Amino acid sequence: MSEPQEAKKDAAAQICDRDGNPVADSCASQGKLLALLYRTKPGRAALKILTDPLVSRLAGAALEHPLSTVAIPPFVMKKHIRMADYAQEKFRSFNDFFTRPVKPSARPIDRDPDALIAPCDAKLTVVPVTEQTHFAVKGADYSLASFLGCKKLAKRFAGGQCLIFRLTPDDYHRYCYPDDCCPGRTRCIEGVLHTVNPVSAETVKVYHENTRTVTLLKTAHFGDMLQIEVGAMLVGKIVNHPHGKRVARGIEKGYFEFGGSTIVLVLAPGAAEIDPQIIRNTENGAETLVRYGSRIGHRG
């Protein structure tokens, strides 16, 4: 491998803060294990079992057992989770811990109507949607129509943007509505459950294959927007709450049970301008660390 290729590969795995400074990846060791699964023949054979939704349901059931609480202290220590951000102190199971709600003061919502907010804690990448309704993630080409399961819907967002929020196990796994809106019916597209770690992009089109839920939001300040929750390896399920005809920005939309996962916002052309540093980080092959409710751009 040439030196420029090596540099590109290293950059692709980088995470930066809002000022463009590299930050430590708390899940780096997980990436090494996933590389074995996705880059070796025995690993790819094992993936046929691990990506089956039944395996994730079984793992989820195990994490609901009271004995699973023994895994909480080492997980908190290894992932450097700030437990002062959470009101709950005792948990019935590991999944009860994993889906714990945060104190509102720890994730304040930016109420400026011109501000576009992050719907979750995540590592953010911003990519354009072409006029042919395709988008690229880590060198892999995706069809927006295949991702959404609807060609007609995809055409409405041609020339727009995909905001890809990748959650890792150390993140807060509840997510909110990014603006005041009238949410449409949430549609589920069944699939398998590959990891959303960038290592999988080398061999698998996860956004075409993974289980996902799609909701059209008619927002007050950014026009029509799509919010898609993507399940991932060992995620027990995606849980979306029922809501009325209108909801306010920052209201919790749902949560993921254990595992990594992804939320994608699809914006129409000109709907929002994303903060320049986030765009620069993406252009440099890096994801940007963002927090639930924080400003990531403004109305276009």
Q: Render each residue's pLDDT in the chain as its tens digit; 300 residues.
A: 333 333 334 434 589 999 999 998 766 656 666 666 656 666 666 656 666 767 767 777 888 899 999 999 999 998 889 999 998 889 999 989 999 999 999 999 999 999 999 999 999 999 999 999 999 987 789 999 999 999 999 999 999 999 999 998 889 999 999 999 999 999 999 887 666 766 666 667 778 888 899 999 999 999 999 999 998 766 557 899 998 899 999 999 999 987 668 999 999 999 999 999 999 999 999 999 999 999 999 998
Catalytic residue among 56, 68, 93, 261: 261
pLDDT for 162-174, tens place per residue?
Answer: 999 999 888 999 9
Domain spans in the chain, listed from the N-terminal domain onward: 1-300
Catalytic residue among 56, 68, 93, 121: 121
Phi, psi dihedral angles at 35 (to 5 degrees)? -60, -40
Annotated catalytic residue 112:
no
Annotated catalytic residue 121:
yes
Q: 147-175 burial string, b = 16+ CB within 10 Å, else e?
A: bbbeeebbebbeebbbbbbbbbbbbbbbb
Phi, psi dihedral angles at 199 (to 5 degrees)? -60, -30
Amino acid at 20: G
The CA distance from 251 to 188, in Å, is 21
The reported pLDDT for the residue numbered 58 is 77
The reported pLDDT for the residue numbered 11 is 38
The reported pLDDT for the residue numbered 43 is 61
Burial of 145 (0-12, 13-18, 19+ CB in 10 A): middle
Whether 297 and 273 have beta carbons less than 8 Å apart is answered as yes
The CA distance from 153 to 178, in Å, is 20
Which residues of the chain form beta strands (DSSP E)? 15-16, 115-117, 122-128, 134-137, 140-143, 161-167, 174-176, 181-183, 187-189, 212-219, 224-230, 238-240, 252-256, 261-267, 272-274, 287-290, 295-299
H helices within the chain, ranges in order?
A: 3-12, 28-39, 41-50, 53-62, 72-79, 94-98, 144-148, 151-155, 206-209, 276-283
**β-pairing, 295-299 with 224-230?**
unpaired
